[in-house]
Structure 1
Amino acid sequence: MPPSAPRPSPLRIGNASGFYGDRFDAMREMLTGGELDVLTGDYLAELTMLILGRDRLKDPEAGYARTFLRQLEECLGLAHERGVRIVANAGGLNPAGLAARVRELAGRLGLPVRVAHVEGDDLTAAHPGALAAHAYLGGFGIAACLRAGADVVVTGRVTDAALVTGPAAAHFGWTPGDLDALAGAVVAGHVLECGTQATGGNYAFFGEFEPRRLLRPGFPLAEIHPDGSSVITKHPGSGGVVDVGTVTAQLLYETGGPRYAGPDVTARLDTVALDRVGPDRVRISGVRGEAPPATLKVGVNRFGGFRNQVEFVLTGLDVERKAELVRAQLEDALDRAESRPAHVSWDLVRTDRPDAATEETASAVLRLVVRDPDQQAVGRAVAGAGIELALASYPGFHVTAPPGKGAPYGAFHAAYVPQGEVEHVAVLPDGTRESVPPAPGTRGLADVDEPPLPAPPPVGGPVRRVPLGRVAGARSGDKGGDANVGVWVRGDEAWRWLAHTLTVERFKELLPETATLTVTRHALPNLRALNFTVEGILGEGVAAQHRFDPQAKALGEWLRARHMDIPEALL
């Protein structure tokens, strides 16, 4: 028999940033720690676009992630020497400006580096009153830049996964019709996009690992194969852990139903198969893709008004009565004020303990938050009325910090625009502008039928009332004003129990803050996971600081801490 053809080498794509402000040294670590073909960096989030919008108001030449440029000052030579291409969305609101700065840097360093960028996402002019409005573009603009020989590609607002699908499409010659391959790359990109969250960071079962392994988790990389399957791993000797659990946790992060929609493809998360194929190596396979929706998501950031807060410290006895007194006094003062703030909210945080050994552990906090379009209204409410009570309220009156005049806050909402109305452009290294057409075929999003669940566990048997987190992991996050909570278990019997026990009704009982909100449950049996979407819990988004945990980062950990009757066999 003739020898079989050699299997093509996988494309090794690494990540060096999960957010604007991530570990500065990660770019150097990824370039020097092992073999790579492409190094990506995700610098953008809903809040980041607002921050960059404020930057650009002060300086029209700003609007990009300055950290990325400083990292390149140290690492551009390394990347050139090792033949690693760099793809990052650090262009933010000004990808052309950042591309120009990168060219200047390459010139100063004497490096023959070819720089390209992707633009067309900026739709601010079409949204009057918005500080920034940007469509989420796909990966084919990046692919065009790389096919034209770019060594560095910077983009504005693309989907996080586009940083992986673009290089993979360029390398393997994928077309928009290669839906399964694209979907596989989308899933790999989603795992990589948040950096060390895929290598043990923010992981529910972190206590199962040796602490020294988590001191400095290495950043992840994906070995992408021509069919879109991949292996998630990290550089040899770097910190952290890659296992089925860490990959599952990241797959559930900031997702909703089984259909994970993007500009190029809709990836079916209910088809994902995960397998451990070696130490710190997890294969992703079986991902099916469908045509993307006909519309692109647009993230719209606008000025929401002014916000102010004060935290009253309540110490010792009669905490609730003290809170009632100061709240009544403040409400009376607000009613008599020239203008009452449009939004007033109170939260009593009971951190106090009886017979406490320290004053701090004897104290609770009553938090007052006010919002209004008028800065004077929020300033008077807190700085005025609040402090005037200093000698006229509950015993032991004091606050955690002197209140200020109030600060501006942003609000986020998502809009949608037909793909054909967005001019997606790849600006190639020679300056040529190549138009990137919209997806040739589209498909409307619809709910997936409830998948078959395993048979219910047997009734009866001993149970123990313990925290849910003794058997289940969780990861949660924000999407505008909504939050998602992904919950998974690590065995078939535990999945039988979870699938039939953690209903929407039980979820609302465990998290009373969600009781009046719309909660949707999606089952992902391949991952032994349930994904819950909680609509409206974050108000107008993270910048509005609507709740104590404005990005719902710990909502899943609160759920894991709630007690349930769990079969002893699972413990």
Structure 2
Amino acid sequence: MASRSLRIGNVSGYLGDRFTAVDEAMAGDPVDVLMGDYLAEVTLAALAAAAGRGRPGYVEYALDQLTPHLAEIARRGIRVVTNAGGFDPAGMAAELRERIAGTEGAQGLRVAHVAGDAVHGRLGEFHAAGHGMEHLDTGAPLKDWGFEPIAANAYLGGFGIAAALAAGADIVVTGRVTDASLTAGPAAWWHGWTPEDHDALAGAVTAGHIIECGAHATGGNFSGFRTVPGMVRPGFPIAEIAADGSSVITKHAADGGTVTVDTVTAQLLYEIQGPRYLNPDATVHLDTVQLSQQGPDRVAIGPVTGSPPPPTAKVAVFAPIGYEISTMLFCTAPDVEGKVELLRAQLRAQLEGHVDQLDVTPLGVAAVDPPDQWAATVPVRVIATAREKEPLRRFAPAVGSLYLQGFPGFHHDGHAPRASEPWPRIEYWPALLESAELDHHAVLDDGTRVDVPRPARTATPEELAQPVHPEPELPAPGGDPIELGALTWARAGDKGGNANVGVWAPDPAHWDWLRATLTTARAKELLPEAQGAIVRHEFPHLRAVHLVLVGLLGSGGSANLRVDQIGKSVGEYLRAKHVAGPA
């Protein structure tokens, strides 16, 4: 077991994150591991579509980021762990080996990949064996979906990564592991943990969850962005993970951004379903997480309570469900409502019977007595879907025909290209599968297979159930109306078809007020778009109320028609609402 903490530096939070991140990390403070997270449900859907068109199933962007630094990575003995392998980790590993072979000073680097997440070819086998792979939200069996899957990937844990590193790999390429596994795997290797070290693993999963989204932990996408120094270019985070799983979150000293209890709280509340955070290596009890500011840009996370992992793994299944096409138009006051209704009626008259869905959504409200033309202007997003491409080819002519017969002032951005060709829609189906069915293993550069240890015990349904938090028994606030965001910060994200919102009070004096303000009933009033159930939990140590808005995102981010497709702005929208302030 290593005596010192492991330092893991993040270099990507999603496909499209700042290209120079690896350059910055290599020029920054020392780290033992570079970790790059490139996959999300929407990214997987896009990679699935690209692979179907003959493109590589892995993230080429990540290869181009790493290649200039291969010799220096070898010289410093840095390990690299990334899920950029996407649907083809073996293919990305092979391409990396070719680049290493052609790079002077890098030839000693060994590349391994983790396999076992891709289960698309086994769906028939699972069905025959009685595995329904029911949809996590609707309970419907996969066989009743009505669409033909093109990809299915299980979320693996970190022990395949740990096994590859222990066998001598310098770079480990994975497909669909959980985002936190990219940190928990190297920590398990470094400290010699076994699958029974639940508390330590839970701590590493927590640290991994904090740094997995890059600058999210250093001030990016943060309600308090005005307080963040160097916000024009916030740096990437580092996790220092000790042998007991406790950690310190920090960043490269010379980079912009900041690491505070609030920036870490924001990411801790991001994309969770409640106090029980289920991971393939451990169940994390997030309600035991304690944060403390240890110094400038250093937030300590004390030991976290963990328990056995669930007996099942989440599986992301994707299928093409048709095509879509959209455009943005602009409508200028007065009578925006009437103009949008005319637009909707005119497009329906031309497209009804040809498209499956037509959505016309005005964005915002024109100013009263506007100071300039743009304050009077409301963007209008128009989108149509169909099972086949051909009917959607009517869309552009239908929109284009309205310039002289539509509402007064009808226009689009004349400097933007007009969409004329539909693009594929990929839908996401979240399911569960018994982990024992998965063939989780690592493959070394010489083809050697390394099997992954399994936990001795998995959790029971009772142990995995989210706790029930009763509504607070507090009097309703009676102060003057204020903007909720005047005293709170928030972060929102997506979990399949559900959106989650964490709202917390930076000032301890406002915690009871927030609890009394954001009851389930009041949340329903403040968020009329949330037609489904709202599940509410409290995190007293974080002074946070957490809400899961069930079904807000339809069938998931890759296929719903919301403009805010994956719910990233829901938290800020909630903060904009006016509520009764503290008395």
Q: 1:453 to 1:169 in 2, by over 3 A?
A: farther
1:319 matched to 2:336: yes
The match for 2:520 is 504
Distance in 2 of aligned mates of 1:342 and 1:257: 36
SS in 2 for 1:130: coil
CA distance in 2, matches of 1:308, 1:240: 38
The 8 Å contact of residues 510 and 559 in structure 1, kept in 2 or not, is answered as yes
Partner amino acid, structure 1, of 2:205: V
Check the 8 A contact 2:471/2:520 in 1, yes or no: no
Contact 1:229/1:284 (8 A) holds in 2? yes
Give the conservation status (yes or no) of the 8 Å contact 1:413–1:481: no
| Contact in 1 for aligned 2:275/2:467 (Cα 8 Å) | no
**In structure 1, the residue corresponding to 2:150 is in which secondary structure?**
strand
Amino acid at match of 1:349: L
In the alignment, what sits opposite 1:490? 506
In the alignment, is the contact (CA less than 8 A) between 1:344 and 1:369 conserved in 2? yes
Tell me which amino acid in the other structure corresponds to 1:130: P
| Correspondence for 2:446 among 430, 435, 438 | 430
The yes-or-no answer on 1:141 pairing with 2:185 is: no
1:479 aligns with 2:492: no
8 Å CA contact 1:99–1:115 kept in 2: the answer is yes
| Percent of pairs with identical residues | 46
Which structure 2 residues correspond to residues 94-105 of structure 1 after superposition, within 5 A?
94-105=88-99
2:10 aligns to what? Answer: 15
Structure 1's 143 and 28: CA in aligned 2 closer, same or farther, altered over 3 A? Answer: same
Deviates more, 1:469-478 or 1:64-73: 64-73
Matches within 5 A, 1:177-196: 177-196=196-215
Instruction: Tell me if the contact between 1:276 and 1:282 (Cα under 8 Å) persists in the aligned partners.
Output: yes
CA contact (8 A) 1:135 1:296 kept: yes
Q: Mean alpha-carbon deviation: is it higher for 480-489 or for 537-546? A: 537-546
Work out the CA distance in 1 between the residues paired with 2:560 and 2:325: 10
Note the alpha carbon deviations across 1:414-442, whole angstroms, 9 max, x for none.
11111011110111243210222443311
Q: Distance in 2 between matches of 1:201 and 1:349?
A: 24
> Residue 421 of structure 1: which of 426, 437, 444 is its match?
437
Range moving further from structure 2, 559-568 or 444-453: 444-453
Output the CA distance in 2 between the equivalents of 1:398 and 1:24: 35
Contact 1:145 1:429 in 2 (8 A): no
Size of the aligned set, in residue pairs, is 553
- One-letter amino acid of the counterpart of residue 120, structure 2: T
Deviation at residue 177 of structure 1 after TM alignment: 0.5
Among 371, 393, 400, which residue is 2:385 paired with?
Answer: 371
2:299 counterpart residue number: 282
| Residue of structure 1 equivalent to 2:140 | none
2:44 is equivalent to residue 28 of structure 1 = no
Could you tell me whether the CA contact under 8 Å between 1:424 and 1:437 is conserved in 2? Answer: no
- Give the alignment of 1:78-227 within 5 angstroms: 78-110=72-104, 111=106, 112-127=108-123, 129-210=148-229, 213-227=230-244
Distance 2:223 2:363 in 1: 24
Cα RMSD for the two superposed structures: 2.1
Structure 1 pair 561–96 and aligned structure 2 pair: CA distance change class (3 A): same
> Any residues of structure 2 matched to 1:34-73 within 5 Å, and which?
34-59=29-54, 62-73=56-67
3-state secondary structure, aligned to 1:549: coil
Whole-angstrom distance in 1 between the partners of 2:454 and 2:411: 59
Superimposed CA distance per residue, residues 256-307 of structure 1 (whole angstroms, 9 cap, x where no aligned partner): 1111001111101011011111111111113111111111001112112111
The one-character-per-residue Cα deviations of 1:282-335 (angstroms, maximum 9, x if unpaired) are 111131111111110011121121112344432232222222223223333344
- When the two structures are superposed, what TM-score results if normalisation uses the length of structure 1? 0.92
Conserved 8 A contact 2:490-2:501: yes
| Distance in 1 (alpha carbons) for counterparts of 2:327 and 2:473 | 52
SS of equivalent to 1:264: coil
CA distance in 2, matches of 1:370, 1:433: 48
| 1:247 pairs with one of 256, 260, 264 | 264
Partner deviation per Cα, 1:547-567 (whole Å, 9 max, x = no partner): 011011111011111111111
**Secondary structure in structure 2 of the residue aligned to 1:544:** coil
Is 1:558 aligned with 2:573? yes
> 1:342, 1:314 → 2: CA distance?
25
The 3 A distance-change label for structure 1 pair 311 and 148 is closer
Q: Equivalent residue of 1:512, what SS?
A: coil
* Cα distance per residue 1:326-347 (max 9 Å; x no partner): 3223333344xxx332222232
The yes-or-no answer on 1:449 pairing with 2:467 is yes
Letter in 1 for 2:90: A
Cα offsets for 1:440-459 (capped at 9, x unmatched): 311134434345898737x7
Listed one character per residue, the Cα deviations across residues 362-400 of structure 1 (whole Å, up to 9, x for unaligned) are: 2223433221102222332x2243333333332223344
Code of the aligned partner of 2:515: A
What is the TM-score when the length of structure 2 is the normalising length?
0.90
Per-residue deviation, 1:502: 0.2
- Does the 8 Å CA contact 1:243/1:281 hold for their aligned counterparts? yes
Give 1:477 deviation, angstroms.
1.0
1:544 Cα offset (Å): 2.0
Change (3 A) 1:460 1:408: closer
Q: Is the 8 A contact 1:309 1:368 kept in 2?
A: yes
Query: Does the 8 Å contact 1:451/1:525 carry over to 2?
Result: no
CA distance in structure 1 between the aligned counterparts of 2:441 and 2:54, rounded to whole angstroms:
25
In the TM superposition, residue 351 of structure 1 has moved relative to its aligned partner by 3.6
CA distance in 1, matches of 2:13, 2:419: 33
Residues 431 and 126 from structure 1, CA distance in 2 versus in 1: closer, same or farther, beyond 3 angstroms? Answer: closer
Structure 2: stretches of 5+ with no match in the other structure:
125-147
